[in-house]
Amino acid sequence: MKEMMIKRSLSRRFSFSTIVVVTSILMAACILAIAYSNIKSEADMKHRLESTIRTAHVSISFSLWNVQYDVAKAHTDVLYKEKGIAFIQIRDEGGDVKAQKPETRDFSFLDEKNPGNKKKIYLYEKSDIIYKKANRKVGSIRVAIDKRVFHRELVTNIMIIIGVTIAIIIAISITSILITKRHIFRPLSKLETSAGLIAKGKLDTVIDTESEDEIGKLAKSFDRMRLSVKKLFEDLRSTNIRLDESNKNLEQKVLERTVELKKAKEEAEKINRTLNLFIANMSHEIRTPMHVILSYTDLLGKRLTGEKEKDYLSVINSNSNMLLQLLNGILDLSKIKAEKLELINEPMNSDGAVFKNKELEK
């Protein structure tokens, strides 16, 4: 409902803007046409008045010169039939009226200084009639044109202009609405619908790209963008699948390697415990030969009398003791690892231990 209101609002705004622009242009043209018609109407009245007076100078001057008042009256009747002529009067040289149309109406107020509002509806002019051959004044003419005749014609023209203007505005407005609806709003509505479906993840949505105008170019660009996004999503999906497979394989390999390492560690620990246990159990068997060597060395030292032989025997005895101490340390360390070392609480000679350590350092 909200999207429909937005579409209608956009359509109305666009149509309203078009109608306002067209109406403004046509109204300006209408005002100019009315002003031109008004100016032309005023010019036509003045031209008609001047033309009537010129015609009178040509046609009536000879009649007045020859005192042919019937002929002058006939010419007056002809001139009175001209469009807009409300009053025409011919006078002779002495000022006497010789011809007048209409005969029964009094237009003497036109010569008054303050004729009132009546004169406003007439365009009035008086002129002397000159007979050119004698270059002499033979009479005068008074002509009044009824402005209302021209004003009625002007009003008719204005109404026609306004009617034509309104008809053009209506025709252009209807045409504009139909054209914009068909070529702008309908394609935009389709494009908006397609964009909404694509935004929801339906990347297989078909976009109408048949139009060759600006909206068609926009639709084609949008369709290319849709294909690019679709390809990007497909590549991303494929990458995620490969990554998941790689993670699964990696987890399997890590699990297998962990099992192998654990198994190797357990075997190594088992071998180490077995070795330490073996060494701890063999401590007696290892010490016994060394004690035998030391015992025979002591016995042999008591039997030998030569100093040189005693020195050799002393070196053997000293190194045998050192080797025995080293074996004892190794066997004690093996017992610690095998958790078979037993501590004995007995007194010791610290001075002798310090002295022996110093001897060893030397």
pLDDT confidence tier of residue 7, bands split at 50, 70 and 90: very low
Mean pLDDT over 122-133 rounds to: 82
Residue 339, pLDDT score: 63
Per-position b or e across 168-192, b if 16+ CB within 10 A of its CB: ebeebbeebbeebeeebbebbeebe
* Alpha-helical runs (H) found in 282-337: 283-303, 307-337
Rounded Cα distance, 213 and 231, in Å: 27
Residue 5, pLDDT score: 43
State the Rg of the chain over Cα. Answer: 68
Rounded Cα distance, 179 and 170, in Å: 14
Rounded Cα distance, 237 and 241, in Å: 6
Rounded Cα distance, 182 and 153, in Å: 43
Q: Which is more confidently placed, 171 or 327?
A: 171
Residue 4, pLDDT score: 43
Taking only the tens place, the pLDDT of each residue in 153-181 is 888 888 888 888 888 888 887 887 777 77
Residue 216: which residues within 8 A CB-CB, separation 6 or more? 187, 209, 210
Listed ranges 88-92, 118-122, 302-306, 331-335; the one with the highest mean pLDDT: 88-92
Q: Which is more confidently placed, 208 or 45?
A: 45
Rounded Cα distance, 277 and 281, in Å: 6
Out of 177-181, 226-230, 351-355, which region has the weakest mean confidence (pLDDT)? 351-355
With beta carbons less than 8 A apart as the criterion, state whether 130 and 137 touch.
yes
Residue 284, pLDDT score: 62
Residue 11, pLDDT score: 59
Closest residue by Cα to residue 327 from 287, 356, 359, 291: 287
Q: Which is more confidently placed, 132 or 222?
A: 132
What secondary structure does DSSP assign to 71-109, as a single string? HHHHHHHHHHTSTTEEEEEEEETTS-EEEEESSSS--GG
Taking only the tens place, the pLDDT of each residue in 272-324 is 777 766 666 666 666 777 777 778 777 777 777 777 777 777 888 788 788 77
Cα of 117 vs its chain's centroid, Å? 66
With beta carbons less than 8 A apart as the criterion, state whether 76 and 101 touch.
yes
Rounded Cα distance, 90 and 79, in Å: 11
Query: In angstroms, how far is the first alpha carbon of the chain from the final one?
Result: 103
Cα of 322 vs its chain's centroid, Å? 94
Mean pLDDT, rounded, of the chain: 76
pLDDT confidence tier of residue 2, bands split at 50, 70 and 90: very low
pLDDT confidence tier of residue 327, bands split at 50, 70 and 90: confident
Taking only the tens place, the pLDDT of each residue in 232-283 is 888 888 888 888 888 888 888 888 888 888 888 888 878 777 776 666 666 6
Q: What is the DSSP letter of 1?
A: -
Residue 337, pLDDT score: 66
